[in-house]
Structure 1
Amino acid sequence: MIQNNPVSHAIDVVGEAWTMLILREAFRGARQFEDWLSRLTIARSVLARRLKIMTAAGLLEARLYQTRPERYEYLLTEMGRDLFGVAVMLTLWEQDWSPRADPARAVRFMRRSSGEEVRPIMSGDDPTRALSPYDVMPAPGPNPDFAPRMKAMRRRRVQPAQRGASGPIELGVELFGDYWTNLVLAAAFYRIRRYDDFLSKLDISTSVLADRLNAMVAHGILEKRRYRTRPERFDYVLTERGLALYPVVLAFFAWGQRWLCPEDTAPVILVDRVIGAQVLPRLTDALTGEVIDPRSVRAAPARTHADRTQAASG
């Protein structure tokens, strides 16, 4: 279930750092080739290749806007727009939990029609309460052997050029933009803790596993806990920062289930830990319980602590 589930299949389509950065800028209004070129530290050839791949995958639609010379703009399709939940959850996690976060770039989400604040969460049956890893658990779906068309596995780490000249890329993009980190993170949410268990459950080499575990410990996603002294052995346990990634995982799960696992073919589903009923994660507004349509909200600069305090007292 670790390697054949809606999350892993979603990652096969969009879990590559450049793809995620291009999608991020698309949600911020990028449409034309030069838009991405000016916003990202990316080579023209790499950008052209990624846009072509994303168009073929159905995430973007190319529309001719100039004939001489021929120029195209790239618009999010319905499939691409539906990744809004992933983009929002990554943004919120980065702001709240990443040591690389820039407070000056923090955002909040507002309704376009009224200007009222929206508080996005990944929810279940109660649309005003965020799902946690303690609420649900994975279970075999109606077709455990089903696997959608698979992309080539992206097993390389984020390349130095992708980190940008002004500093490293967002930590969330680095984590979810690396195939092996995703796999190790998935196993951690499946309660795999020990090195030998990671090795036996995943199709991964010892050197790659050690590298990813060490990196996730360094990033504060996992914590090492000694359970044996001779020889020395450790558990790798999700920290509070690591557990806070769960809404991102849920957003990937929901998108992968909708677009890559047709009805009654899902290899894995989520079920309520208490009653065993299936749970379908959704992006909703915790303040109203309404499902969030990406076209109905906009990002705005986050209020400062002083602004929030003044608003609360008023």
Structure 2
Amino acid sequence: MKECFAIGIDLGASQIKSGIVSDRGKIRFKQACPTPANSGRAKIVSSLQKAVSQLIEFSRSHRIEIKGIGIGSPGTVELKSGKVVGASPNLPGWTGVGLKSIFRKFKLPVLADNDTNLMALAESRVGSARGYKNALCLTIGTGIGGGVILNGELYHGLNSSAGELGHTCICFEGKACRCGSSGCLEAYASVPAMLEAAHSALANTDNTSQLRECQNHLTPLLIFQAARSKDRVALQVIEKEIEYLSAGLASVVNLLNPEVIVIGGGLVEADSSFLPGLEKRIKQKAFPSATGKLKVVKAKLGNQAGFIGAARYCLESLNEN
């Protein structure tokens, strides 16, 4: 059967990643450019249009027929209209943007969804969740995003707001979250929260930790490296990270009973050695009936998952119609 191709776009707070992807998940061409997140809506729109123009130029020179455009954006995206109805704090002024209208001049069908939903779809079709009908997918980076696959399909909920795993409450009246609520998983287990915990631990312990030498430029990678040397502060920080993540995910496991949890983002790209420990703690906290065959695995597609999923979502939606 002849391959079909779509343009996939992953709009992030720091980068716009895009590519031409087949219905089999094969990438024919990919590119990335900085996101002018603090330069206003018009600049972001212009960057998105330029990216698509470059991809269409490539497709024409290589005789690739483009069926449509798929785009993933932070925030809540209304599926039918393609409008961003609840934007991420990382993209100021992005609420209300009509994602479909941005690409109207290209005269191609446009499908839009939340960026982490599309990461989940990509991992489900050609990544670590392939072969599983029920999966949770989350990314741990500046924030914590999530997507849910139920019975082989991306689950959106009533108003396309499903999958916000980072805003599962793990501590009543806890730390303030960027979303405006408090006690959210993201406030405790995102990369910035992990680094904050490391700085706090260093301020309240003796001078023996090797992390003290690099405390002005701490990263998850440095913390994991120190943990391999049995550094007490690093081990404490990672144990706390596992504790917070397992608290949030155990509740979702009890609710949805997935077969697999796929984790991507900056934290696991730095080091995924904590995942077996996370799986163990989830199984200790959740019902045995919900965790008997549960696996916690690293995402396969890395930072390409967003635009692969966007293209796939476009092609699947067009095929259904």
TM bracket (short chain): under 0.3
Bigger RCO of structures 1 and 2 (CA < 8 A, at least 6 apart): 1
TM (norm. structure 1) is 0.25
